[in-house]
Amino acid sequence: MSTLKRLLEIMRRLRDPEEGCPWDLEQGFESIAPYTIEEAYEVDDAIRRGDMEDLCGELGDLLLQVVFHAQMASEQGLFDFEDVAGGIADKLIRRHPHVFAQPDDRSVASVLGAWEDEKARERAERAGSRAAAAAAGGHGADPLFEGIPEALPALMRAAKLQSRAARERPAPDVRELAAELSLIATQLTERARREDLDAAAGASTSADVGRLLFAIVAVARELRVDPETALRERCVLFERQVQQQRKSSSSD
């Protein structure tokens, strides 16, 4: 038995209605989804730390999430692990015609162009398949933002939304963004200076903070900086600074 088949069999045993694990049997797609997101971040963390041994283990944990979801889907007659693996294999072939269909055209520009064209086609197909349900809810499906999950970290999602939108409309002028940043920051600073902070807080303030962060993401994109990475790096620096300050204070 291959290691993958062994893993699939173990997952089936864990979900066996009569002899499986009580905890595993209680789970569903919704309850497992947070673990899936968490494991993806732990993979990212291992890569950033350069810990390849830990990365191997974290990739295994992430693979377990795929196997878990596939097993639950199989039990409901929706799809199984073979469908998942076969689907991504087919997608890789479609998105790499320069390797599998037109090996003579391997320039970076043509590769990226083919990749984006295929992704756009897939998004349009997904949007089309959901059109009936969307129409029943009173709105049509928009393929432009198809495939951008709402569960993404807000900075990452904002960058992806702006990147998609930039395909159909020009990016905002940097000077306009700078003016907007300055105006919103000034307004928020003035509110923060008020003695009654409870009065300053509210829906409008929350909306303005959102506008400020969204504009910052736009500026970061213009500077070719990933805002999610930039903020993570700043968090690491802040953590180190606070730790050093605490050590200095305790040694005095």
Q: What is the CATH number of the domain that holds 194?
A: 1.10.287.1080
Check residue 196 and give its pLDDT: 56
- 153 φ, ψ (degrees, to nearest 5): -55, 140
Question: How much helix, strand and coil, in percent to the nearest 5, is found in the chain?
Answer: 75, 0, 25
Tally of structural domains, the chain: 1
Residue 166 has pLDDT above 60, yes or no: yes
Contact predicate 191/205, CB 8 Å: yes
**Residue 95: in which H helix or E strand, if any?**
helix 81-95
**Residue 124: in which H helix or E strand, if any?**
helix 108-129
Question: Residue 215 falls within a domain, yes or no?
Answer: yes
Q: Considering Cα of 140, then 145, then 146, then 149, what sign does the dihedral take?
A: negative
CA distance 86 to 212: 43
Contact predicate 158/149, CB 8 Å: no
Residue 104 has pLDDT above 80, yes or no: no
Contact predicate 194/202, CB 8 Å: no
Contact predicate 155/228, CB 8 Å: yes
Question: Residue 124 falls within a domain, yes or no?
Answer: no
CA distance 122 to 249: 57
Question: Residue 224 falls within a domain, yes or no?
Answer: yes
Q: With a threshold of 0.75, does the pTM exceed it?
A: no
The residue count for the chain: 252
Question: Residue 246 falls within a domain, yes or no?
Answer: yes
Question: Residue 223 falls within a domain, yes or no?
Answer: yes
- Average pLDDT on 31-38 reads 92
Question: Residue 2 falls within a domain, yes or no?
Answer: no
- The token pair at 84 is 């998942």
Boundaries of domain holding 233: 149-252
Question: Residue 59 falls within a domain, yes or no?
Answer: no
Give every CB contact of residue 250 below 8 A, 6+ residues apart in sequence.
none
Check residue 217 and give its pLDDT: 94
Question: Residue 172 falls within a domain, yes or no?
Answer: yes
Q: Which of 89, 45, 41, 49 lies closest to 65 in space, CA to CA?
A: 41
Check residue 197 and give its pLDDT: 61
Which pLDDT band, with edges at 50, 70 and 90, does 137 fall under? low
- Average pLDDT on 43-72 reads 95
The mean pLDDT of the chain is 85
